[in-house]
A and B are shown apart, each in its own frame.
Chain A
Amino acid sequence: DAKTTQPPSMDCAEGRAANLPCNHSTISGNEYVYWYRQIHSQGPQYIIHGLKNNETNEMASLIITEDRKSSTLILPHATLRDTAVYYCIVRVAGAGGGADGLTFGKGTHLIIQP
């Protein structure tokens, strides 16, 4: 799986949009971009994933650049409960054989300020 690069920490004001960047410049054509988050002392939580088109669900939007080398996770109206570590991960479509575990890097610690 391709590696990702994320800023170690970010701040965002409550009620504003939080934009979390992720660089995955070595991504290949069959790799998807996933976002998870982990709120302190809880298990990781799936947020969203996409291949090349922008995606939106009830939690967030995922914007993937046309060359697919980077993406941005957008939390449209951040609340204090969105304070967490956010992980950007890339995964090969239909991977089989070997350990199929998610590889979590260090992520971005997003702090929502009141």
Chain B
Amino acid sequence: DAGITQSPRHKVTETGTPVTLRCHQTENHRYMYWYRQDPGHGLRLIHYSYGVKDTDKGEVSDGYSVSRSKTEDFLLTLESATSSQTSVYFCAISRSFGGGENTEAFFGQGTRLTVV
């Protein structure tokens, strides 16, 4: 299994509080991604990173920010959590992007976040 650790694995937080989820990899892969998964919507990309300090928005980035100060860590922050952000969050990594060699993505085990 790819060396990806997400923390925490479960969190319950109150509406309006900031929350930070961490993704840590030991594979030295360049690309890192944050997804959320909700019933009826499948996996949706929130933000991704293509290198240290290089990040970009995905499909559902509103209300989220990210940071990548080291190759191995990609942080997802909910600036002011809302109930609509209750979801399962997955981190993924890949050596390259798009289609072709070394582009397969490896996923973490997920973080279940509940905003009450």
List the interface of chain A (C-beta within 8 A of B).
30-32, 34, 36, 41-46, 49, 51, 90-96, 98-102, 104-107
Contacts and interface: CB of A to CB of B under 8 A. Distances in A.
Given A42-B109, A43-B108, A49-B104, A99 B45 contact: yes
Contact of B43 (A34, A41, A102): A102
Contact of B100 (A41, A43, A93): A93
B31 interface: yes
B35 A101 contact: yes
Interface of B: 31, 33, 35, 42-45, 48, 50, 56-59, 90, 92, 97-100, 103-110
B45 A95 contact: no
23 contacts: A34-B104, A36-B105, A43-B90, A43-B110, A49-B99, A49-B104, A51-B100, A90-B99, A91-B98, A92-B98, A93-B100, A94-B100, A95-B98, A96-B97, A98-B56, A99-B59, A100-B50, A100-B97, A100-B98, A101-B44, A102-B43, A105-B42, A106-B42
A18 B56 CA distance: 38
B57 A99 contact: yes
Given A31-B99, A46-B106, A101-B45, 6 more contacts: A44-B92, A49-B99, A49-B103, A51-B99, A95-B97, A100-B31
